[in-house]
Amino acid sequence: MKKIISKIFVGAMLIGAIIFCNNIYADQPPDPGGDPTGQPVGGSPIGGGLVILLSLGAAYGGKKFYDSKKND
């Protein structure tokens, strides 16, 4: 008896989900605001972080090269 009731309950939930979720639509994206002339909003510089990442990558590569030459 419990198996029949659980199957009916699961079936009713699935059918209800299909019926009620049929009319769900996405909203329009919000207005980004900013300058209407087309200039990007913000202005965070990317150069400082790029220099740090490149210098750390070069230091790591130099250390790996030094270690490989030291082991030979």
Mean per-residue pLDDT, 1-28: 82
> What is this structure's pTM?
0.37
Top-confidence residue, 10 or 20: 10
What pLDDT, on a 0 to 100 scale, did the predictor assign at position 49? 77
Q: Kindly report, residue by residue over 25-71, the tens digit of the pLDDT.
A: 777 777 766 666 666 666 666 666 788 899 999 999 999 999 998 87
Instruction: Work out the burial of residue 35: count CB atoms within 10 Å of its CB; fewer than 13 is exposed, 13-18 middle, 19 or more buried.
Output: exposed
Write b or e for each residue in 4-32: b if 16 or more Cβ atoms lie within 10 A of its Cβ, otherwise e: eeeeeeeeeeeeeeeeeeeeeeeeeeeee
Please tell me what DSSP assigns to residue 29: P
From CA 46, how far away is CA 52, in angstroms rounded?
11
